[in-house]
Amino acid sequence: MVLKRRVNYGFTGFQVPVIPRAPRSARRRSPLKNSVEDGEACAFEILASLAGKLLQESESSACSNASEGNHHCSFSQGIIVQDRKNEVKPSITEGVHQGSCTESIFTTNVASKNNDQKPLLHAKTDCSLGHISVNNNSDNLEKAKANVKTETVESDNKYGSYTNRLVKAPENFRKSCNRKVKKGFRLEQEAGVSNYHRSTSADKCGLKDRLELYMSPALVDSKVNVKKYPLHRKPFPTDSFTKRGNGIKLDFRDDDENFIRYTKVCAKSKAFRSPRRIAHRRIKNLLSSKYWKVAPKLKDCELSRSDLEVPLYRKRKTSHGFDRSHHSNVVKRRRFFDRVSAVISDGGFSSESVSNSPEKGANGHKPSSSAKMHVTEDSHVKFSIKSFRIPELYIEVPETATVGSLKRTVMEAVMGIIGGGMHVGVLLQGEEIGDDNRTLEQTGLSCNENLDSLSFMLEPSSLLASPISCVGDPSSQCETSEPIRSPETPALDSGITDIIRDSYLLTNQGNLVENNHDSTSSPIDTIVDEITPDSRAIVALPASNEALAVVPVSQKIKRSEFVQRRTRRPFSVSEVEALVHAVEELGTGRWRDVKLRAFDNADHRTYVDLKDKWKTLVHTAKISPQQRRGEPVPQELLDRVLGAHAYWSQHQIKQHGKHQCGTGGALKMITEASVERMSSQV
DNA sequence: TTTAGGG
DNA sequence: CCCTAAA
């Protein structure tokens, strides 16, 4: 069974780029929308919230709420596959929007695949979570916006202009492997960490490839996107209209869709609801959950991804079936992450260096970025946290999973640790500040002498009783459960502390919830609840998981809930043209027919979308041109919109007792209506 | 599943 | 775009 095959990915770390003082999101949100509902989390926000919380706790005097505005930043995940031979190291974050994205990513080592077709990936690196600027007023935390975009390996090689790039393997690799790169991600577990990794197809190719994952800012502004992502935002070609019968069909080029089509299982003949749409609902649930209420200030975040679905789920029927299972977590979760799992352990933090740091220490431990602070004259303390490291995590996904789903999974795993299993520690001159009630002043965080001796760290907030993170195939022996960690410090600053952290284990939901038939988002849910036999095959847990059962509620993050909104895809003039044309003929109450007639090939346009677009078109047509935004729609089209709208709203009433809507459409009907009107006047 | 509307 | 009540 193909679905049984999996791809395992293990990451020791994940590095999130420094968040630039990004420009505000071009996407303005109405005040009304700026509510909790709209708050969608991103890794950054979680960190920000943590930092803010930290500050709140350690600060005695609160400051004003003066907010200088929300800087929206978005993140995307990217994957880089490269040929080790060539050692091509793309400057991953250079050229990123606004140019201030952090250094890079973490590099992993070697891809591999085991005998039973389970490609495994293990990224052994440091991770860091971007840059956070904090004032000693949590209200001033930067807010971020997550906009996760994905790209397929097949896309193109013009990645240079992408913010989030998926760098495909060099040509020689692909040729020698004679297979698609997307199937080429194989990482090999770093020696001594786990032995569930086996050799791979990559080995067969005689190549060792590197896979990198990174977090990169992504643009929110669709306009900028057009420029930044030319391959994804091609202007809709006018000549892509093809007459079919009386209607117009559009042949859309969409990377995501194309990717799906490659799989030959895309059922696009009908309008359907993409699984990713449902996902968003889950994120809302998450956001409204108790967990998120601890960070009410950070609600302006939004996730947005163009997902690459697992082909299976593209089946309309399947998709719909899942979609309707609103109350079935089981189904919902399986939708995306069936057979996907991730295991996270704190792994003692990678001994590898943060890639942005120039040198490594003697033990290969590179000095990581540090947090800095600056005390201003008005008794405010500004913190600049350059990066955070994230503990090691393992991920397993089916071989058939898309790159997009991999990215999602990684993101979820990252979010899981950051959001649920971690808390922030503060170290001053190597000493962890344990007393949360002390003020910054009392702690010495307001003295400029300590400017450079401050650091933050992420650490598991649950000190589980020596959980075993035995990752690997069932036959492999478990790793030691020794809580003792490598000498490397999990702190931001290098070599400052040697804190022994109890390991903890989190599991990504994915397959873990496969058999979980009652996992409503109850706050009582525990990680243990999500452990299923299936997951045990991958993760061996201690006989007694009681420790897990007492994990605080705040940690019970359902990473599976972490899905984002569909990417915004403004209608092009050509699309509007097609829509107007179809509506003129079919009327405003037959969106499915409109979809079929004019957008049958545009899988990303559902009939609901078309209906919505029509709604906005009507509105647009009624307002003054000065008030319109976005790509201007020719007045001619807007006139037709008004005409059709006027006609059909009138005709629908008439149609009741009268003849069925025959052929003709609005234009003809309008004429007939005029005639009728005239005759009635006579 | 579609439609119709509110958010 | 999302969410959903209704049909």
Structural domains for chain A: 7-20+32-59+68-566 (no CATH), 573-681 (1.10.246.220)
Predicted confidence (pLDDT) at residue A617 exceeds the cutoff of 90: yes
Residue A397 has phi, psi (to 5 degrees) of -140, 160
Type of residue numbered A538: I
Measured from Cα to the C1' atom, the residue closest to B4 is A589
Residue A257 amino acid letter: E
Percent of chain A exceeding pLDDT 70 equals 23
Mean pLDDT score of chain A, rounded to an integer? 45
In this predicted structure, what is the pLDDT of residue A605?
93
pLDDT at A565: 82
Residue A641 has pLDDT above 70, yes or no: yes
- Indicate the SS3 state at residue A542: coil
Residue with more model confidence, A136 or A429: A429
A293 touches strand C (CB under 7 A): no
Cα distance from N-terminal residue to C-terminal residue, chain A: 74
Through-space separation of residue A281 CA and nucleotide B7 C1' in angstroms: 14
| Distance C5 C1' – A275 CA (angstroms) | 21
- Residues A489-515 have a mean pLDDT of 28
Report the C-alpha gap between A482 and A404 in whole angstroms.
35
| pLDDT (average), residues A294-312 | 29
* Residue whose Cα is closest to the C1' of C3: A281
Task: Write the pLDDT tens digit of every residue in A62-95.
Answer: 323 323 233 222 223 333 333 332 322 322 222 2
pLDDT score, position A9: 42
- Amino acid A420: pLDDT: 61
pLDDT of amino acid A315: 31
Predicted pLDDT at A581: 92
Q: In this model, does residue A540 exceed pLDDT 80? A: no
Model confidence band, residue A432 (pLDDT cutoffs 50, 70, 90): confident
Q: Is the CB of A631 under 7 A from strand B?
A: no
Scanning every strand, the nucleotide with its C1' closest to A33's CA turns out to be: B7
Quickly give A140 CA vs B6 C1' distance in Å: 33
Contacts of A464 (CB under 8 A, 6+ apart): A502, A503, A504, A505, A547, A548, A551
Task: Give the pLDDT confidence score for residue A125 in this predicted structure.
Answer: 27
A573 CA, C3 C1': separation in Å? Answer: 27
Of the segments A51-60, A137-146, A403-412, which one has the largest average pLDDT value?
A403-412
Q: Is the CB of A284 under 7 A from strand C?
A: yes
What proportion of chain A, given as a percentage, has pLDDT over 90?
Answer: 8
Strand B contact at CB of residue A277, distance < 7 A: no
b/e code A61-95 from CB counts within 10 Å (16+ = b): eeeeeeeeebbbbbbbbbbbbbbbeeeeeeebbee
Query: Taking the CA of residue A149 as centre, how many other CA atoms within 13 Å lie in the half-sphere pointing to its CB?
Result: 27
Residue of higher predicted confidence among A43 and A465: A43
Q: Where does the pLDDT of residue A594 fall: very low under 50, low under 70, confident under 90, or very high at 90 and above?
A: very high
Closest protein residue to B6 using CA and C1' atoms?
A612
DSSP characters over A640-678 = HHHHHHHHHHHHHHHHHHS----S-HHHHHHHHHHHHHH
Strand B bases contacted by the protein (CB, 7 Å)? 1-7
The closest nt to A321, taking CA to C1', is: B1
* Strand C proximal residues, A:597-616, Cβ < 7 Å: 604, 608-609, 612, 615-616
Is pLDDT larger for residue A598 or for residue A28? A598
Q: What is the mean pLDDT of residues A604-625?
A: 93
User: Of A609 and A19, which is predicted with more confidence?
Assistant: A609
Give the model's pLDDT for residue A370: 65
Does nucleic acid strand C have an atom less than 7 angstroms from the CB of A559? Answer: no
